[in-house]
Amino acid sequence: MRKELLTDLTETEARKKLRGNLGKHIECPKCHKKKYVRKMKGKDKRYHCSKCRHKFSLKSLTGFKHSNLDFKQIYYLLHCFGNNKTHKDVIDWLGVSYPTSRLNYSKIRKGLEASLDKGKISGIFACDECFVGKKKTGNQALVMGAVDVLFADVRLEVIPDRDQDSVEGFIFSNIETDSKIISDGWSSYQGIEFMGYAHDTEIHEKGQLEKTVPIERVWGLFKTFLRRSYHHIHKEILPEYLVEFQFKFIHREYRNNPLYIAKILTNPVPNC
């Protein structure tokens, strides 16, 4: 959706959209009760919980506590984030500075991180490692990934090296031992059968590329996402980029729906 199609949105309408996204009853962020929350009277637009006496604003519920952005800017920001807009687009849409754009994108990613399921997953997974960034500038990091063959779930994590301990540590912390792992012929995978995993190997040097296609597609999508949205990366915040990509890979309902992202930020129930 182009900016021109959202220019008629007023501050009041943006606030109502974000408020309506929370449902009929608002949950207190402190005691997690709903029936005690009421809107404060007068010009004070905050909410008050008569159970624990906690006062909170609509902005704080959507992860923008103490933010100077108005509700129209927050709605635009969520739209830009959901549609992979660059920081240049955010500056143009919101009229903010580059540091402000980066700060708010980072806030959204940290809020979305809680929605990612950290438990182990089970099934058939293609695993691989990928270098991200440029080595000559000292801005390169190694990422290991696992994607199920149905392309429904993905796990990505920065690892220190391609040694057996790092590879097996990633697999064991993310994947149940009753699963099947498909990998290339790298030697670090050769001991996972003793951990309880079924293991299938493809030798890429021999032209065997069919079974590991899912993870190669993930690397292609991830690098395209980085190039189009951010142009270059800072390896220090690469874990944040991984969170954003994983969320968008799993929660595909977010596209063209800023309120979906706001709903996840408000109630970050891990994806199961």
- Domain regions of the chain by residue span: 3-115+254-266, 124-250
- What is the amino acid identity at position 20? G
Say what the pTM is: 0.87
Instruction: Convert the pLDDT of each residue in 134-150 to its tens digit.
Output: 888 888 999 999 999 98
The tens digit of pLDDT for each residue in 88-104 reads 999 999 999 999 999 99
Q: Is the pLDDT of residue 64 over 50?
A: yes
Question: For the domain 124-250, what is the CATH superfamily, name and number?
Answer: Ribonuclease H-like superfamily/Ribonuclease H (3.30.420.10)
State the average pLDDT over residues 208-232: 89
Residue 130's nearest CA partner among 163, 162, 165, 102 is: 162
Angle between helices 98-113 and 71-82 (to 10 degrees): 70
**Residue 49 and residue 29: Cα distance in Å, rounded?**
9
Most confident of 70-74, 208-212, 231-235: 70-74
Using alpha carbons only, how large is the chain's radius of gyration in Å? 22
* Mean pLDDT, the chain, integer: 88
| pLDDT tens column, 167-178 | 999 999 999 999
- The per-residue b/e assignment along 103-121, b for 16 or more CB within 10 angstroms, e otherwise, is ebbebbbebbbebbeeeeb
